[in-house]
């Protein structure tokens, strides 16, 4: 993992996955010959930095990068949450996003049937009173 490519927030986010860190600023207990051997084996500065990079738990490498599905969901959320709808209740926003994301499972007929059943059940409850 290339530490120089991560922002400060990203570094803080993955800090809990860090197993051990070798820092060049901290004095090592190893003698000078091992330091020299490390430099010789590393070759150049880039290889040395890679060799001394922090080690992370293997779980971190199983976390998938941002997927296209996730990007599509955020794009849809941006389209729903317009400035005019910014005062929408979270439950309403969640319901709209759920319906948009699962639009392939329902259509006009399904909605009409559900509304019809809902009004029928309300009428039945009122007639029982």
- Give the model's pLDDT for residue 25: 47
Overall average pLDDT of the 53-73 stretch: 68
Q: Where are the beta strands (DSSP E) in the chain?
A: 18-20, 55-56
Sorted by sequence, the CB contacts under 8 Å of residue 41 that are 6+ apart come out as: 51
What is the end-to-end Cα distance of the chain in Å, rounded?
68
User: What is the per-residue pLDDT across 76-96, written as a single tens digit (0 to 9) for each?
Assistant: 889 988 888 888 899 999 988
Q: Phi then psi for 90, rounded to 5 degrees? A: -55, -35
Instruction: Determine the pLDDT at residue 59.
Output: 63
The confidence score (pLDDT) of residue 44 equals 57
Q: Is the dihedral of CA 55, 57, 60, 61 positive or negative?
A: positive
Question: Mean pLDDT across the chain, nearest whole number?
Answer: 74
Spatial CA neighbour of 57 closest among 93, 98, 92, 21 = 21
- Structural domain boundaries of the chain? 3-62, 68-128
Tokens at 33, concatenated? 């010959």
Q: What is the pLDDT of residues 11-54, one digit of tens each?
A: 887 777 777 655 544 445 555 567 667 666 666 555 555 656 66
Distance of alpha carbon 23 from alpha carbon 4, whole angstroms: 14
User: Kindly report the CA angle at 24 between 16 and 12, in degrees rounded to 5?
Assistant: 25
């Amino acid at each position: 993992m290339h530490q120089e490519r991560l922002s400060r927030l990203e570094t803080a986010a993955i800090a809990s996955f860090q197993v051990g860190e070798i820092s060049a600023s901290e004095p090592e207990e190893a003698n000078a010959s091992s330091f020299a051997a490390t430099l010789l084996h590393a070759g150049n500065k880039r290889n040395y930095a890679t060799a001394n990079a922090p080690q992370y738990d293997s779980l971190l490498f199983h976390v998938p990068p941002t997927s296209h599905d996730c990007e599509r969901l955020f794009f849809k959320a941006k389209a729903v949450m317009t400035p005019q709808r910014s005062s929408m209740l979270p439950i309403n926003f969640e319901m709209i996003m759920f319906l948009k994301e699962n639009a392939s499972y329902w259509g006009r007929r399904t909605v009409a049937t559900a509304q019809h059943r809902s009004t029928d059940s309300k009428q039945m409850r009122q007639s029982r009173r």
